[in-house]
Amino acid sequence: MRKLLVAVLIAAVSAVLATQAFAATRNVNVGDDYFLRKGKAPTVTVSKGTRVTWKWVGKDLHNLAVTRGPVKFRSSYKEDGTFSRKLRRTGTYKIVCTIHQPYMRMTLKVVR
């Protein structure tokens, strides 16, 4: 009976950790002249500690750069691939593609 209880406890803890790891990731598409989706510049809200991954899905050369925010970072210029950043500081990040600004932009809010 004790082994069964330990096995159930381990399975429950593993499920909780796996769910937290899955929930702590946010993907953002980098298309031709847009972040996330075509149209109005999006605002994406994530929790502190979330890993945001930008994935290049278009054909043109793009990058991303934080122009205003608690921490500044930027990707290299790419036509494909991904760029990831784990966001540990709360606040509002203004992000642009430096080639296509001011039209290719997004806001990223990191909350507790």
CB-based contact 94:53 (threshold 8 Å): no
Q: Over the stretch 54-100, which tens digit does the pLDDT of each residue have?
A: 999 999 999 999 999 999 999 999 999 999 999 999 999 999 999 99
pLDDT band at 2 (very low <50, low <70, confident <90, very high): low
Q: What is the pLDDT of residue 58?
A: 93
Residue at 24: amino acid letter: A
- What is the longest distance spanned by two Cα atoms in the chain? 64
As a whole number, mean pLDDT of residues 12-26 equals 56
88-104 tens-digit pLDDT: 999 999 999 999 999 99
Those residues whose C-beta lies under 8 Å from the C-beta of residue 16, and which sit 6 or more positions away, are none
Q: What's the per-residue H, E or C state across the chain?
A: CHHHHHHHHHHHHHHHHHHHHHHCEEEEEEECCEECCCCCCCEEEEECCCEEEEEECCCCCECCEEEECCCCCECCCECCEEEEEECCCCEEEEEECCCCCCCCEEEEEEEC
- Residue 11 pLDDT greater than 70, yes or no: no
Q: What domains does the chain contain, in order, with CATH numbers?
A: 25-111 (2.60.40.420)
